[in-house]
Amino acid sequence: MQKISAVILAGGNSTRMGSPKELLAWREGTFLTELVKEVTQDGMECLLVTNHPERLPAEIKHAAGVKITPDLVPSAGPISGLVTAFRICQDELLLVLSCDLPFMDREQMNKLIAYAKGQSEWDVVAAQVNGRLHPLCAVYNRRSQTYWEQALQQNELRLMATLDKLRLRTTPEGLLDDWAVFNANTPEEYELAKNQEKKRKTGER
């Protein structure tokens, strides 16, 4: 069996949100603490890539199975995070998640991982919901590392430019819950997430 680790990318500047997305209040903690909880609850190791470790609460800094690192290369958005993750993690597969996925849970992660492991001849298996690709909710094979290293060296910082060179598989419609891939990038999207959470608590969904 190919071993897999999780990588959470929390190195963005959150310019559209206006404050660090990973620290937004959510459920019993924040976006980041809740996502780390979901990742690690079954024992999966987690690498957290952040250039602001001083922001992190003690519960994450001392959580079992969680390793924290800044970018090992000049920060260049998600690509520097991917390069860092491949250089640190030894596993063949990486479950890569952005920190702004408030509804991502262990059930959805397991569905994505199981689907990826059931495919053959792929470099990346990414979530696709309602026709939209989510490359930061995806499983990356170590075979793709060379391409990300090259993209960084060539200053090609668009994810899609490199994904176009790789064997990309996407999840079939209906595999994942629509809200599992919802990104809260703006204050309006944060409010939308909070309203959806209220609906779920009251059973409205």
| 128: containing domain | 4-201
**For position 2, what pLDDT does the model report?**
81
Overall number of domains in the chain: 1
Dihedral angle sign, alpha carbons of residues 67, 72, 75, 78:
negative
Q: From its phi and psi, is residue 107 left (phi > 0), alpha (psi between -120 and 50) or beta?
A: alpha
The CATH number assigned to the domain holding 105 equals 3.90.550.10
**For position 89, what pLDDT does the model report?**
97
**For position 69, what pLDDT does the model report?**
97
Going through 10-148 in order, the beta strands assigned E by DSSP cover 25-26, 29-30, 46-49, 66-69, 93-98, 124-129, 132-141
Mean pLDDT by 10 residues, the chain (205 residues): 92 77 94 96 95 92 95 94 97 97 97 97 97 98 98 97 98 97 95 96 78
**For position 148, what pLDDT does the model report?**
98
The answer to whether 116 and 125 are in contact (CB under 8 A) is yes
Rounded to 10 degrees, the C-alpha dihedral 186/190/192/196 comes to 150
The answer to whether 52 and 14 are in contact (CB under 8 A) is no
**For position 19, what pLDDT does the model report?**
84
**For position 11, what pLDDT does the model report?**
72
**For position 205, what pLDDT does the model report?**
60
Element (H, E) at 150: helix 145-153
SS3 state at 38: helix
**For position 1, what pLDDT does the model report?**
63
**pTM, two decimal places:** 0.95
